[in-house]
């Protein structure tokens, strides 16, 4: 190969490597920025964070803060809880720690692996059955005393909407979600954004005949409003 074209080839290869590194750095700085925002809250998310808790990027912004997960868990005693959107396990762990058995479902196998790891940190893995699957497909074959719904809110940008309506939930709207849950039990706990349309949430109780009891609470961590929880049927106080 002539010296000139050899140099050109070398330069082209170097440029390719540089571009790859740049792309990687850009990706990882994105993750770091997002994680940095939530890192200061890590002990609010898991008080035993330092003992080996692991989260992926979505987990950082979507896990239920521990004090709120404990509130949810206190509504069920010695029961079988179906946690339909388990994520990294924030809720499943607290339901299990309260003495319940938990069926923990997530469509993402990596999330299930993280939830298992985190359940081991809390010593509750034996009380949880981990399932990789689509809740909507599994619902007709499930049994439980309480269904816990913590569906994706569509990423951190949910808060930019003045009012969060039930059609904005993922992967299906809130009505379809509630109906799938009702095929298991009318005792439902639903964890929703703090800007959710409360009237729409209360009206879900009318999907049952007679209408279900419903109770809605605002959830805070310290002074900060974080979310809304709706309790239906026997999950109400």
Ligand X SMILES: C[S@@+](CC[C@H](N)C(=O)[O-])C[C@H]1O[C@@H](n2cnc3c(N)ncnc32)[C@H](O)[C@@H]1O
Please list every residue from 29 through 68 that binds ligand X, using CB under 6 A: 62-64
158 Cβ neighbours under 8 A, 6+ residues apart: 164, 168, 193, 195
* DSSP per residue, 136-200: HHHGGG---SEEEE----SSGGGGGSSSB-GGGSSSS-HHHHHHHHHTT-S-EEEEEETTB-HHH
Please list every residue from 155 through 174 that binds ligand X, using CB under 6 A: 171
Which residue, 111 or 226, is less far from ligand X as judged by CB?
111
Q: Which of 207, 214, 205 is nearest to 237 (CA)?
A: 214
Site track for ligand X across 111-140, x = CB under 6 A: x----------------------xxx----
In whole angstroms, the minimum distance from the beta carbon of 207 to ligand X comes to 20
- What is the helix (H) or strand (E) element at residue 104, kind and residue range? strand 101-106
Q: Which of 38, 85, 127, 178 binds ligand X (CB under 6 A)?
A: 85
Q: Quick one: which segment of 3-11, 31-39, 144-152, 200-208 binds ligand X (CB under 6 A)?
A: 144-152
Which residue, 30 or 152, is less far from ligand X as judged by CB?
152
- Positions touching ligand X (CB under 6 A) are 62-64, 85-91, 105-108, 111, 134-136, 150-152, 171
């Amino acid at each position: 190969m002539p010296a000139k074209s050899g140099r050109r080839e070398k330069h082209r290869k170097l440029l390719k490597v540089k571009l790859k590194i740049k792309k990687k750095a850009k990706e990882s700085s994105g993750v770091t920025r997002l994680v940095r925002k939530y890192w200061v809250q890590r002990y609010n998310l898991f008080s035993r964070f330092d003992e080996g808790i692991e989260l992926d990027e979505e987990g950082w912004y979507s896990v239920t803060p521990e004090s709120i997960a404990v509130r949810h868990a206190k509504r069920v005693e010695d029961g079988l809880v179906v946690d339909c959107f388990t994520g990294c396990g924030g809720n499943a762990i607290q339901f299990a720690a309260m003495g319940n058995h938990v069926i923990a479902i997530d469509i993402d196998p990596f999330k299930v692996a993280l939830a298992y790891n985190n359940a081991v940190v809390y010593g509750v893995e034996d009380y949880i059955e981990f399932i990789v699957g689509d809740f909507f497909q599994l619902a007709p074959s499930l049994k439980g005393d309480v269904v816990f719904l913590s569906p994706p809110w569509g990423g951190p940008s949910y808060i930019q909407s003045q009012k969060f309506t039930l059609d904005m939930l993922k992967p299906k709207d809130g009505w379809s979600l509630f109906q799938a849950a009702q095929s298991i039990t009318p005792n439902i706990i639903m964890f929703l954004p703090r800007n959710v349309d409360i009237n729409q949430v209360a009206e879900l109780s009318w999907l049952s005949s007679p209408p279900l009891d419903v109770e809605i609470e605002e959830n805070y961590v310290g002074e900060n409003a974080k979310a809304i929880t709706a309790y239906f049927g026997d999950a109400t106080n």
